Amino acid sequence: MSGDNAEPIYIRAASKSNGITSIVIGLVGLFVSALWFVLLPSWLVLAGIFITSASLIALLIGYFKVREPEFSLEMTPEHIIYRHRLGRWQIDWDNLQRADCPKVRAGLTHVELETVGFKLKDYRNFLHSISPRLATHLLMEQRPLLLQNSEDNCATGSCYEQSMFDDKHFTLSDGTVLTGVKAMLANRMVELRRRLGFDVYIATSDIDRTPTEFAALIAQCQQARAQLKLETQSSINE
């Protein structure tokens, strides 16, 4: 991504791998279990039930893997686009302050979480681009992050409940007032920035490399874009 005509970078989710394999294993297992019930004595019926259950689970896992988009992330010279079966969100490179692996306190040291965080300059475009269904999914998926770097005075757990279900209105920088699930997501982003330093998070299962490697890739893309803008400005001035 060193120029406006650069090819997009596509990232395939690790969780999507082996979807077809899981479906094939499930179908074979169902065929075996059918023969099991027909040909083997009744005292082996429990084993047949176990094979059937395992086959159905394999089919279900394969189904959810296959129905996900082929690529979870697309990085173009203008945007970072995240795709999910429930919708998508988009972050403009000009709106991305930084991306890195958030760290939490563990005694006297800090430990990196298995996720990548994005810190935005402004929430408007991101919240306008995300679908309500995906916003609801993120609210549920990212709840464990609220338990990180928690306050010492939260022994009762009430602060967790308040931050998990903060449904008050949210006003964007241009004066637009958000309500409903998008307001809840905006308030969640503010809370996660306060706790972990980032607004939006991508799970390890949504990328095809380690969080550190993915954060390094984002940094390289930012540097390439910044260099391109400098070269373009220099050519204009000349």
When the pLDDT of each residue in the chain is averaged and rounded to a whole number, the result is 83
- pLDDT score, position 173: 85
Average pLDDT for 101-129:
88
Q: Distance between CA 38 and CA 71 in Å, rounded?
A: 43
Where on the phi/psi map is residue 176: left (φ > 0), alpha (ψ -120 to 50), or beta? beta
**For the chain, percent of residues with pLDDT exceeding 90:** 33
3-state secondary structure string across the chain: CCCCCCCCEEECCHHHCCHHHHHHHHHHHHHHHHHHHHHCCHHHHHHHHHHHHHHHHHHHHHHHHHHCCCCCEEECCCEEEEEECCEEEEEEHHHEEEEECCEEEECCEEEECCEEEEEECCCHHHHHHCCHHHHHHHHHHCHHHHHCCCCCCCCCCHHHHHHHCCCCCEECCCCCEECHHHHHHHHHHHHHHHHHCCCEEEEHHHCCCCHHHHHHHHHHHHHHHHHHHHHHHHHHHC
Q: Distance between CA 17 and CA 117 in Å, rounded?
A: 23
Q: Distance between CA 130 and CA 182 in Å, rounded?
A: 9
Over 70: is that where the pLDDT of 41 sits? yes
Over 90: is that where the pLDDT of 201 sits? yes
Using one digit for the tens of pLDDT, what is the confidence trace for 71-100? 899 999 889 999 998 999 999 999 999 999
Using one digit for the tens of pLDDT, what is the confidence trace for 125-175? 999 999 999 999 999 988 888 887 665 545 554 555 555 556 688 888 888
pTM of the model: 0.77
Confidence of residue 213 (pLDDT cuts 50, 70, 90): very high
Weakest mean pLDDT among 14-28, 45-59, 87-101: 14-28
- pLDDT score, position 105: 77
How do the domains of the chain map onto residue ranges? 14-67, 92-230
Residues whose CB falls within 8 Å of the CB of residue 187, separated by 6 or more in sequence, listed in order? 166, 167, 168, 170
- pLDDT score, position 237: 63
Average pLDDT for 28-52:
85
Over 90: is that where the pLDDT of 42 sits? no
User: Which of residues 144 and 42 earns the better pLDDT score?
Assistant: 144
User: Which of residues 121 and 3 earns the better pLDDT score?
Assistant: 121
Place of tokens 């086959």: 55
List residues bridging with 171 in a β-sheet: 177
